[in-house]
Amino acid sequence: MTDEQIARRLQERFGYRILEYNTAGPTPFCKVSPGAIAAVCEYLRDDPDLRFDSCMCVSGVDYGKDLGVVYHLHSMSKRHKCVLHVDLPREDPHVPTVSHIWSTADWHEREAYDLFGVVFDGHPDLRRILLPDDWEGYPLRKDYVTPEYYNGMRVAFNEEKQGKHGGSWRGEIYLTEEER
């Protein structure tokens, strides 16, 4: 089934809860209302013509003004794929979990929570997965400010390495001569 056929089925089934079908760019996607994401995913998994049996990835995204979650789904038996987007307000980013639909979403959702602060309502174990429990903030948000210290260790931004890596953030924990 093509991306367009899948999008049409979703629009017929869920109506206004499918906010947009976007074909701009290399990967077409359906933008879904946050409250409908679990129902849409359950339908994609259970419909005999669709059978999306694999959630390949759930990713947090910072668009600047808002946050988002992107779901990459795949049907092994039907050999088709689907990408779903959900936009969330930066101030209170909540979306229902899909970890009860695909167990693979469990750790992906925890990662999006840990790095972007997206809360997956109904998740069975929503806690940090990469960062220490006492870490403050969400480091992949564009408005994140790196703390000067973490547990007594200086956290520094190395400008020399920043240029070397194409402008990406490269942090290092090190002690200055005075701190040694």
Express as a percent the part of the chain with pLDDT over 90.
Answer: 78
pLDDT at 173 over 70: no
pLDDT at 164 over 90: no
Mean per-residue pLDDT over the chain, rounded: 90
Output the pTM of the full model. 0.86
Tell me which residue of 85, 80, 103, 104 sits closest to 95, measured CA to CA.
85
Decide which of 127 and 180 is more confident.
Answer: 127
pLDDT at 167 over 90: no
Q: Please state, in angstroms and rounded to a whole number, the distance separating the CA atoms of residues 81 and 100.
A: 20
Please identify, in words, the CATH class of the domain defined by 3-127. Answer: alpha beta
What pLDDT shows up at residue 165?
A: 39
Question: Which tokens in the block code for residue 25?
Answer: 């760019």
What pLDDT shows up at residue 156?
A: 66
Q: What is the mean pLDDT of residues 144-170?
A: 64
What pLDDT shows up at residue 78?
A: 97
Give 41-95 pLDDT, tens digit per residue. Answer: 999 999 999 999 999 999 999 999 999 999 999 999 999 999 999 999 999 999 9
Q: What is the mean pLDDT of residues 13-26?
A: 94
Q: Where are the beta strands (DSSP E) in the chain?
A: 18-22, 29-32, 54-62, 66-75, 80-89, 94-96, 119-121, 149-150, 153-157, 171-173
